[in-house]
């Protein structure tokens, strides 16, 4: 049932109860008035007839009958004259008032007073004055009928007016319900017009604010989703570029190793051959040839130092452990004043994914290079071990530690973080690489001094 019908039904019930109460009170008043009027009229008529009837009774029954015929009907009373044998000599005529109409029997039984009769005995007859409340009851019936009709008409009129007013008052709520249903159907841009009424206007304004905020939130979420998709695309693009760069680095490293390395070796061999042949007849040519051979040797050494920086070719053939050992050996040769410790403990049957192996190698390379270049470290330690579900790499040094800008920043400590936390480009690249592999990179102080770089990668992709 709608709110409109509920309000109208409640008001109709209250009005009907009020009408019933008014009619009940009116009925009670009419009943008392009818009883008082009828009984009083009966007593008055009896007293009147009692005083005058003896005068006519002395003249005989015909004189009494003639008197009663001249008197006619006494209101609300039936007069009956009988002789000494009980035969009816005279009976008052029926009332001409509202002749032919009677109130319903049930109404008469409720409203009529108890039977009341006054008898006057004579030597040759008897006069009976009987109370008759039929006209008074009929008047009460008509009055109550008129009152009930007016009440019913007013009830219908007021209910119709209330139904119209309530319909007009609750009309904005129908608009609100329609707007909510439209929103439920997916129309989030729905808006309510200005509504009549204080409460409806407040609800409409609140609804419009809610839809506006919802649209703003959805727009924000769409922008965030687009940004996230763009970031994801950027990461995929960056990852593809990194893979392409790694491939190009491997290609360049192999070209340097296979082509340029052989060419430099051949040039050195030819220079030494020229030096040997020119030694007997041209010392200057011999020296020049030997200088060319020395330059070829230095070029060969520089090229072989550059190749691992481009791509660890050792890892392709011998694995991650051998590549890290080769890295430490080369650093020992190039930095004889520093002490290097290496502890690589990987199971023989462990297959490290190529991307994870390259990331671990680059992390070790970055950590050792930064410690030598920026930390002034004298003792460096590289550790790699396998746990149940992850690979962990640690690079510790006893150098100067982190710069003040990084030591107090979010990257301090051993908790990993996004790439934006690391100020160094190589570390940012490593952090992004670790995050793309569902791992973490942490940079923090070592104990008792120095810096620790720690990389953790899962063995199986998430």
pLDDT in tens, 92-104: 888 787 878 888 8
* CA 263 to the chain's CA centroid: 72
Mean pLDDT of 417-441: 71
pLDDT at residue 393, rounded to an integer: 92
From residue 74, alpha-carbon distances to 45, 53, 58, 93, 408 in Å are 7, 14, 22, 9, 122
pLDDT at residue 408, rounded to an integer: 41
Longest dimension (CA), the chain: 205
Across 257-271, 278-292, 309-323, 409-423, least confident range: 409-423
Q: Is the pLDDT of residue 431 over 80?
A: yes
* Percent over 90 (pLDDT), the chain: 4
pLDDT at residue 453, rounded to an integer: 92
Residues 6+ apart with CB under 8 A from 334: 305
pLDDT in tens, 150-185: 888 888 888 888 888 877 777 777 777 788 888 778
pLDDT at residue 193, rounded to an integer: 83
Q: Which two tokens stand for residue 344?
A: 């690589």
Q: Which two tokens stand for residue 71?
A: 């008197």
Q: Is the pLDDT of residue 414 over 60?
A: no
Supply the DSSP symbol for 258: I
Of residues 60 and 319, more confidently modeled: 319
Q: What are the beta bridge partners of residue 457?
A: 391
Residue 448, burial from CB neighbour count under 10 angstroms (0-12, 13-18, 19+)? exposed
In 185-282, which ranges are continuous DSSP H helix? 198-255, 261-278
Of residues 106 and 302, more confidently modeled: 106
Mean pLDDT of 254-279: 76
pLDDT at residue 308, rounded to an integer: 65
Terminal alpha carbon distance of the chain: 56
Q: Taking the model in full, what pTM does it have?
A: 0.45
Mean pLDDT of 266-275: 81
- Binning pLDDT at 50, 70 and 90, where does residue 416 land? very low
Taking the C-alpha atoms of residue 455 and residue 394, their distance in angstroms, rounded to an integer, is: 7
Taking the C-alpha atoms of residue 109 and residue 137, their distance in angstroms, rounded to an integer, is: 10
pLDDT at residue 415, rounded to an integer: 39
Q: Is the pLDDT of residue 406 over 70?
A: no
pLDDT in tens, 191-214: 888 877 777 788 888 888 888 888
pLDDT in tens, 349-392: 788 888 888 888 888 888 888 888 887 888 999 999 988 888 99
Output the average pLDDT for the chain.
79
Return the sign of the alpha-carbon dihedral for residues 56, 61, 66, 70. Answer: positive
From residue 50, alpha-carbon distances to 85, 87, 421 in Å are 21, 20, 127
CA dihedral in degrees (443, 448, 449, 453; nearest 10)?
-20
pLDDT at residue 411, rounded to an integer: 42
CA dihedral in degrees (402, 406, 410, 416; nearest 10)?
-50
Vertex 119 angle, CA 115 and 125, to 5°: 140
pLDDT at residue 389, rounded to an integer: 84
pLDDT at residue 425, rounded to an integer: 67
Q: Is the pLDDT of residue 255 over 80?
A: no
Q: Which two tokens stand for residue 326?
A: 């080769």
pLDDT at residue 297, rounded to an integer: 82
Nearest Cα residue to 373 out of 285, 458, 451, 257: 451
Q: What are the beta bridge partners of residue 391?
A: 386, 457
Of residues 310 and 105, more confidently modeled: 105
Going along the chain from its start, the domains and CATH numbers come out as 3-161 (no CATH), 319-462 (3.30.565.10)
Phi-psi region of 60 (alpha: psi -120 to 50; beta: other; left: phi over 0): left
């Amino acid at each position: 049932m709608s709110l409109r019908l509920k309000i109208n039904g409640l008001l109709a019930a209250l009005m009907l109860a009020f009408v019933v109460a008014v009619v009940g009170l009116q009925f009670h008043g009419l009943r008392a008035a009818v009883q008082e009027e009828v009984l009083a009229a009966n007593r008055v008529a009896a007293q009147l007839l009692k005083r005058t009837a003896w005068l006519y009774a002395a003249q005989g029954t015909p004189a009494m009958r003639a008197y009663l015929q001249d008197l006619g009907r006494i209101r609300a009373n039936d007069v009956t004259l009988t002789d000494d044998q009980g035969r009816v000599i005279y009976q008052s005529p029926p009332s001409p008032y509202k002749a032919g109409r009677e109130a319903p029997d049930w109404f008469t039984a409720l409203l009529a007073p108890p039977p009341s009769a006054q008898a006057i005995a004579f030597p040759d007859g008897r006069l009976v004055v009987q109370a008759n409340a039929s006209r008074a009851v009929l008047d009460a019936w008509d009055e109550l009928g008129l009152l009930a009709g007016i009440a019913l008409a007013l009830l219908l009129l007021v209910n119709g007016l209330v139904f119209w007013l309530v319909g007009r008052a609750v009309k904005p709520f129908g608009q609100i319900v329609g707007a909510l249903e439209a929103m439920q159907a997916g129309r989030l841009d729905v808006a309510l017009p200005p509504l009549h009424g204080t409460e409806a206007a407040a609800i409409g304004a609140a609804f419009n604010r809610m839809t506006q905020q919802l649209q703003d939130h959805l727009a924000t979420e769409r922008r965030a989703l687009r940004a996230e998709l763009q970031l994801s695309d950027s990461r995929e693009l960056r990852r593809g570029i990194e893979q392409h760069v790694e491939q190009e680095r491997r290609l360049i490293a192999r070209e340097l190793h296979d082509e340029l390395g052989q060419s430099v070796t051949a040039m050195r061999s030819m220079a030494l051959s020229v030096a040997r042949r020119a030694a007997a007849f041209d010392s200057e040519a011999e020296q020049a040839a030997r200088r060319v051979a020395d330059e070829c040797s230095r070029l060969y050494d520089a090229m072989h130092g550059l190749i691992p920086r481009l791509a660890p070719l050792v890892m392709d053939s011998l694995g991650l452990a051998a590549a890290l050992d080769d890295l430490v050996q080369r650093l020992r040769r190039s930095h004889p004043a520093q002490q290097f410790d290496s502890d690589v403990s990987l199971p023989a049957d462990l297959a490290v994914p190529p991307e994870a192996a390259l990331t671990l190698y680059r992390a070790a390379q970055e950590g050792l290079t930064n410690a030598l270049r920026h930390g002034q470290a004298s003792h460096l330690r590289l550790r790699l071990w396998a746990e149940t579900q992850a690979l962990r790499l640690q690079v510790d040094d006893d150098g100067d530690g982190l710069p003040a800008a990084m030591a107090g920043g979010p990257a301090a400590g051993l908790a990993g973080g996004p790439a934006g936390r690391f100020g160094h480009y190589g570390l940012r690249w490593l952090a992004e690489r670790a995050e793309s592999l569902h791992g973490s990179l942490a940079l923090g102080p070592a104990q008792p001094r120095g810096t620790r770089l720690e990389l953790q990668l899962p063995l199986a992709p998430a």
